[in-house]
Amino acid sequence: MLGARTVRVLTAVIFGATFGILPMLRSLPATVSAQSLSPSLAGDELLHVLGDSVIGAPELAAPTMRDPVRLARWETGEWRYRITSGARRGQTEVESLALISVTARGETWKRTIGQDSTLYLREVVGGGLVLPSQITHTHKALVYFEPPLSYLIAGLGPGESRVFDGRMDVYSVNNPAVKWYTGRIRATTVYAGVYRVTTPAGAFRAALIKTEYQIDILAVVAVRDTLYTFYAEGVGKVAEAEHQRIAAMGLFNTDTQIGKVLVSYAAVGPPIRVEAP
């Protein structure tokens, strides 16, 4: 499930393309290795970016994720989050979701993440959602995923995982005929159980989805991103923690930890009926 913070990883790479870093890298003979990136933080360590009292103990039993669209409260609405770490700590970020007319790539939903990015998604047979494209507004970049990137995956049992392998093509929003670069992306998604999560918006029983992203561009830029996303049925995403690392041939390395927790939410669509177990 591609989260809001992962969009920032792509933004960082797009920034390099915009200002000429990637064209320069094409002329260099060496390649970047994942070994030049710092290792991903352990789960307990990464979740501390949310705050010491946010994540409780895991439940002993967790149900199969049969309907992740309902779990994520996929309907028109607005969710407000408080950033808990990083340069924007204490700031508020708004995410919104809206139905749109079907696009040429079959997208029917638009998810807006702050002022940075807009994701275009479609539902798939059997439940779940995929992400065919997104726009990163900061750097006026249009990203196509081929095949569409897995976003919400139906049928995962506790501890089960799914692996996505695909391509990402990045174009100029102002001139979609101009392709900046092509990269490879792998996403490994695991349903990591159910936890008690306490946020300014309340306390929730939330399913944890862990996703590891690997993005490699031109054999010279490597991105590794670990994302923990908590979803509460009837509410949607209630917390998110991320560890992102980017390396480019020794020219630059970044290592960033980011967290956010739900402050408020207002869904416009009809309330979701939650059946008794």
User: What are the pLDDT digits (tens) for 178-229?
Assistant: 998 899 999 999 999 999 999 999 999 999 999 999 999 877 888 899 999 9
User: What are the pLDDT digits (tens) for 83-119?
Assistant: 999 889 999 999 999 999 999 999 999 999 998 899 9
d(CA 140, CA 211): 26
User: What are the pLDDT digits (tens) for 13-36?
Assistant: 555 544 444 444 444 444 444 444
User: What are the pLDDT digits (tens) for 238-262?
Assistant: 999 998 888 877 677 888 889 999 9
| Confidence (pLDDT) at 12 | 53
Which pTM does this prediction carry?
A: 0.84
The residue among 87, 111, 85 whose CA lies nearest residue 240 is 85
| Confidence (pLDDT) at 2 | 46
Q: What percentage of the chain exceeds 70 in pLDDT?
A: 80
User: Partners of 230 in the beta sheet?
Assistant: 208, 239
| Confidence (pLDDT) at 60 | 84
Which of the 8 DSSP states describes residue 65?
B
Q: What percentage of the chain exceeds 90 in pLDDT?
A: 57
| Confidence (pLDDT) at 152 | 94
- What is the maximal distance between C-alpha atoms in the chain? 61
3-state helix, strand, coil in the chain (%, to 5): 15, 50, 35
Which of the 8 DSSP states describes residue 68?
H
The residue among 60, 65, 85 whose CA lies nearest residue 196 is 60
For the cut 50, the answer to whether the pLDDT of residue 65 exceeds it is yes
Chain-centroid distance of CA 202 in Å reads 23
Encoded tokens for 88: 């924007």
| Confidence (pLDDT) at 32 | 43
Q: Which residue has the higher pLDDT, 71 or 41?
A: 71
Q: Please, which pLDDT band fits residue 1 given cuts at 50, 70 and 90?
A: very low
Each domain of the chain, given as residue ranges in start order, spans 4-267
d(CA 65, CA 202): 23
In angstroms and rounded to an integer, the radius of gyration of the C-alpha atoms of the chain is 18
